[in-house]
Amino acid sequence: MEFYHNEIRCLKNYQQFEKDRPLLLCLHGNSSSAETFIKLIDHPQRDIQILAIDLPGCGKSKRLDRYTMQSVADEVQAMIDFIGPKRLFLFGHSLGGHLIGFITARYEGIVISGTPPLGSSKDLGEAFTPNEGSTKLIPLLSQELPFSYPQATDFISHTGVQQPLLDLMIEYAVKTDGRFRSGCLSTLTSINQLEQLENYNNLIVFHAEFDGVINKQYLIDHFKDSLYILDGKHMLPLSHSQEILTIIKQKFSI
């Protein structure tokens, strides 16, 4: 089900929000959309409410005058304040996982996928180890110009998205505000998320065995007790929704 609040597009799996039921708020990655989590939303279950949003500058949501990790997180925080959940869990994919560190809401648990939390810019080289297929794509993520259709096709295809969502997510990648990419990436390490999460107990870290960007060893070194490795590519929420939901419910006792 789709709705808009303050020009932010949302997808949800519930008719009427119930504050006493757990809410899993899902934040997508760079040049993506709420469809990253569509298979979680469409999964038949009633014990957890799931809400995914198009971040500002992405998908069908509004554009901002200026993008930083904090300005984008402030929009997410405003959404949380509007909904007012009593039990909140956050799920961030890729850049969305980094965004969690900038959100001030109280939450009971964190899920990240395709995200290596960073302490500072010096961690970038260790956390990200692009393979040959993705090396040419990394520079695109910091450019302000919109993606061309071929660039968006290469970028989305590399993450493992398949039809029937492939064409839609390529379209969203083309429409992403290039200033979102450059603004967020330039402020990515303005907080120490590594320090935040290394000692956080209620954490799930998903890693795709065939992710062509993330360094698995980096995650093992810092988060081995919270790490779950699945045999997919970068876009795990689309390819492993059943496994992901099962682990979330078990870990967080939902």
Distance between CA atoms of 93 and 27, rounded to whole angstroms?
6
Q: Is the pLDDT of residue 252 over 80?
A: yes
pLDDT tens figures, 177-208: 999 999 999 999 999 999 999 989 999 999 99
pLDDT tens figures, 41-98: 998 777 899 999 999 999 999 999 999 999 999 999 999 999 999 999 999 999 999 9
Q: Is residue 174 within a helix (H) or strand (E), and if so which, with residue range?
A: helix 166-175
Give the β-pairing of 2-5 and 8-12.
antiparallel
105 with 85: CB under 8 angstroms? no
CATH 1.20.58.220 fits domain 2-252: no
* 88-93 β-sheet, strand order: 2-5, 8-12, 49-53, 23-27, 88-93, 109-113, 203-208, 227-230
pLDDT tens figures, 18-32: 999 999 999 999 999
pLDDT tens figures, 102-155: 999 999 999 999 999 999 999 999 999 888 878 887 788 888 889 999 999 999
